[in-house]
Amino acid sequence: MFKIIALIGKVILNFSEEMGRILLLFSVTLKQMIIPPYEVRNTFKQMLEIGIRSLPVVLITAIFTGMVFSLQTFTGFKRFGAETLVGTVVALSMTRELGPVLTALIVAGRAGAAMAAELGTMRVTEQIDALETLATNPVKYLIVPRFVAGTLMLPALATIADITGIAGGYLVTVGLFESSSIVYWKRTWDYLETSDIFNGLIKAAFFGASISLISCYKGFYTRGGAEGVGKGTTGAVVLSSMTILISDYFLSAWLFR
């Protein structure tokens, strides 16, 4: 019995400690982000890595999500004669929810894991120490570019996911169910609001920042060789995904009041 309570206490302590360290790293990152010189080239490199390299997966996920979403809603809505609203439903759910969240989960699995693994390896092979000896701040050199790239690229990917999902919905609704294409687009654009899109992108930016920060944290503080790298990577993906899903609720509640 006491063991269980002790275990709970330990979990809470670990969690708090980890949170504190992440926030600490966050503040250091922000500080290093502001102080010149700026890591422009590294940032571009990370943008390429996080953004463009994730594009194929995001495209495929988004288009199929849009397709399956309209497939399901069309069948359901047809039962009460509201199939003209499929475009609206797809557009709203893609921009507000699925675009940002799915993109974030993909990036967490792909780029987040890569970040944690790369930084973890750098840690265990003393590359991070080497950076220090070469008078380079590893936070500035490694984490800031990833953080910036993640924060910028996720909204970009989410935008692409939004439009791809809507296009996927179009394919099914118009192509498969032979609904009117004019009605689909009209319903899509009529009911969507600029705030839907931009609030979705704000969420995406937050997810991007969280993913890169958590993954960098997990990689940067890796211990214990190859196994540690593996653990760090897994931890990064799990923690990022959890953060995305949990913060999504609160962000949505706040943004889409």
If the CB atoms of residues 140 and 239 are measured against other proteins, the closer one turns out to be 140
Report the residue from 14, 16, 27, 125 that binds other proteins according to the rule CB under 8 A. Answer: 125
If the CB atoms of residues 123 and 172 are measured against other proteins, the closer one turns out to be 123
CB atoms inside a 10 Å sphere around CB 226: 11
Report the residue from 225, 246, 254, 256 that binds other proteins according to the rule CB under 8 A. Answer: 225
Here the tokens at position 216 are 């960098």
Q: How far apart are CA 14 and CA 9, in angstroms?
A: 9
CB contact at 8 A, 235 and 218: yes
- Per-residue burial over 140-151, b if 16 or more Cβ lie within 10 Å, else e, is bbbbbbbbbbbb
Q: How far apart are CA 49 and CA 46, in angstroms?
A: 5
Here the tokens at position 196 are 């839907």
Using CB under 8 A as the binding rule, whether residue 137 contacts other proteins is answered as yes
If the CB atoms of residues 78 and 242 are measured against other proteins, the closer one turns out to be 78
Q: How far is the CB of 246 from other proteins (least distance, A)?
A: 27
Helices 225-255, 113-124: crossing angle, 10 deg rounding: 140
CB contact at 8 A, 203 and 252: yes
Binding mask 25-64 vs other proteins (x if CB under 8 A, - otherwise)? ----------------x--xx-xx--xx--x---------
Using CB under 8 A as the binding rule, whether residue 133 contacts other proteins is answered as yes
Report the residue from 7, 12, 193, 226 that binds other proteins according to the rule CB under 8 A. Answer: 193
Contact residues toward other proteins (CB under 8 A) are 41, 44-45, 47-48, 51-52, 55, 82, 85, 118, 121-127, 129-130, 132-137, 156, 159-160, 162-163, 188-189, 192-194, 196-197, 201, 221, 223-225
